[in-house]
Amino acid sequence: MPDRAGEDATGRLSDAVALWRVGAAPASDVVDAAVDCLVADVDSPALRELAGESPRESRFILDPLIDQALDELGVDRVIVANPQRAALTAVLKRYRRGELTAAAAAQWAHRYIGHNGDAAGQIFVDFDDMYGTVNYWGSYTVADLNEWMAEETDAFLAGRASPGRTRIWRPPEPST
């Protein structure tokens, strides 16, 4: 069983891969995270190879190597199956750690997920619209948005249903 440092390093690798896959982080973040895994005594053949790759290496070389390293480490396959959701998870964890503001996390969702992206991310995309119009639209404040963003983030990260805080911005569609 890996120790806490190894689990943290593996989590950072997962997050770096997810963000890289949606174009929100450079390949150097993935290579650096692979090195951090090795330093934390997390090891596999593909991970060692990935840690030694140039971040300028072709995506055609890095992608299969990353997949192999994730497989060898037993990392959650959501990164491959749904990179937008995995990247959103990484960003929301950074927000909850205080590395991003609520507005910055919402802005990230709007930029990298957009209105046509993963359905689970739409609430955070809507929050960006709400932050952008708070001064002239709606009966809410930035403080309200910050509180709602925290509630939605906690629900998303815990796998719970959305509290639906953006319904005032985008009312639910009528049922048929």
Note the pLDDT of residue 75: 83
* % of residues, the chain, pLDDT over 70: 91
Tokens 């997962």 sit at which residue?
14
Q: Which of 16-30, 35-49, 161-175 has the lowest mean pLDDT?
A: 161-175
Cα 92 to Cα 42: distance, rounded to the nearest angstrom: 25
Run of H or E including 159:
none
Average pLDDT on 112-128 reads 94
> Is residue 1 very low, low, confident or very high in pLDDT (cuts 50, 70, 90)?
very low
Note the pLDDT of residue 165: 79
Is 34 in contact with 75 (CB distance < 8 Å)? Answer: no
Run of H or E including 50:
helix 45-52
**Cα 45–chain centre separation:** 26
- pLDDT tens digits, one per residue of 70-111: 999 988 665 667 889 999 999 999 999 999 999 999 999 999
Average pLDDT on 48-70 reads 94
Q: What is the mean pLDDT of the chain?
A: 90
162 three-state secondary structure: coil
Sign of the alpha-carbon torsion through 10, 12, 16, 18: positive
